[in-house]
Each structure stands twice: as structure tokens, then as C-alpha cells.
Amino acid sequence: MSHLTNITNKIVEIEELLTQVKSWKQNNEKIVFTNGCFDILHRGHVEYLAQAADFGSKLIIAVNSDASVKRQGKGDARPLQDEYSRTLLIAAFNFVAAVVLFDNDTPFDLINAIQPNVLIKGGDYDPKCTDKTNKKYIVGSDVVLANGGAVEVIQFVPGYSTSKIEDKIRSS
């Protein structure tokens, strides 16, 4: 099988993902879940995702659809790359087991369906926050914790964000 086929096979629809997750759980794999836009991949993403993968044996990444990114209010130009390009780039990491696209404003439904062992978010979130209206609240943390899972936060690499890269490009 070609390398490109191996990469594209990691990009799955939710139904296929749920079948994979069931099999992984039967084999006692530790399922890790995170999500994001991943508009311009940079060092911060690589370090974040690699560290997330270390929390288990199967890393699932949910990528916001183009429409979902637009609704987040990140700016008229976002996303800079289309959803297929963003999922393909994420799937190219060898430590990623599966990539799924989601169109909702939050990944709650996915988290509820997958029931990961570990839910990971970046440093601007607080795993102890239980106020669902607070920007620091981790969507789905209640579901994961109620099922005996863990919620973890990985600190950002200082100076690396898509917004900062976008600003730097515009000011050049």
C-alpha cells in the first residue's frame, strides 16, 4: 500500500470511526481524543499532538469543518486551508490513528459517541473548570470523567499560533 493511501485511510467518517473505536477498546487500546481547526500546521501543533499521543495508544483527532471554523469567528479569511487539506496534513503524522471531520460548533457529540479514555486540550483550557459557559471549560470533560477517563491540558509552545503566523505574514 502506498504512503498516501495509508494517510488517506486514516481520514474516516464517524460510522467507520465508531467501528474502529469498538475494536480498539476490545483490544484494550487506550483512546485519546483531541480536536481543533489546525489551519496552518506549525511547531506548536506538532509538539501538542505528539504529546497528546503519549497519553494512550490510539490518538483520534477531530478537525473542524470549514463551516464550523467560519462560525468560530476567527476572521473572514479563515480557514486558510480547506477541510480536506487540513485533515490530510493531520493524518500524515505517524502517531495519529484516525482523523474525523466534524461540522458542529463543538465536538461534544463525537466525544459522547467515542467515550475516549483521555480528552486533551491546549493550554488555554482548564480541566478543573465545570462552568460550561466559561471559555476555559473543556467540552465533553463531564462525559469523559463520568466514564472514569482523564482530562489533560498540554501547554502551548510560546510564540507559536496560527493567528501569530497569520499576523506575521500580513505585516511582511
Q: How many domains does the chain have?
A: 1
User: Higher model confidence: residue 121 or residue 159?
Assistant: 121
**What is the share, in percent, of the chain residues with pLDDT greater than 70?**
97
CATH number of the structural domain spanning residue 65: 3.40.50.620
Q: Strand (E) positions, the chain?
A: 11-12, 31-36, 58-64, 98-102, 118-122, 150-154
CA distances from 81 to 67, 109, 122, 141 (A): 12, 25, 21, 29
pLDDT at 20: 98
| Close Cβ partners of 39 (under 8 Å, ≥ 6 residues apart) | 69, 74, 78, 79, 80, 81, 86, 162
Give the C-alpha separation, 45 to 108, whole Å. 21
Of 149, 64, 144, nearest to 112 by C-alpha is: 144
Give the C-alpha separation, 93 to 136, whole Å. 27
Tell me the per-residue pLDDT of 49-98, one tens digit each, with 9 for 90 and over: 999 999 999 999 999 999 999 998 777 778 989 999 999 999 999 999 99
Cβ neighbours around 23 below 10 Å, total: 11
Q: 27 lies in which domain range?
A: 3-171
Give the C-alpha separation, 170 to 37, whole Å. 20
Tell me the per-residue pLDDT of 18-61, one tens digit each, with 9 for 90 and over: 999 999 999 999 999 999 999 889 999 999 999 999 999 999 99
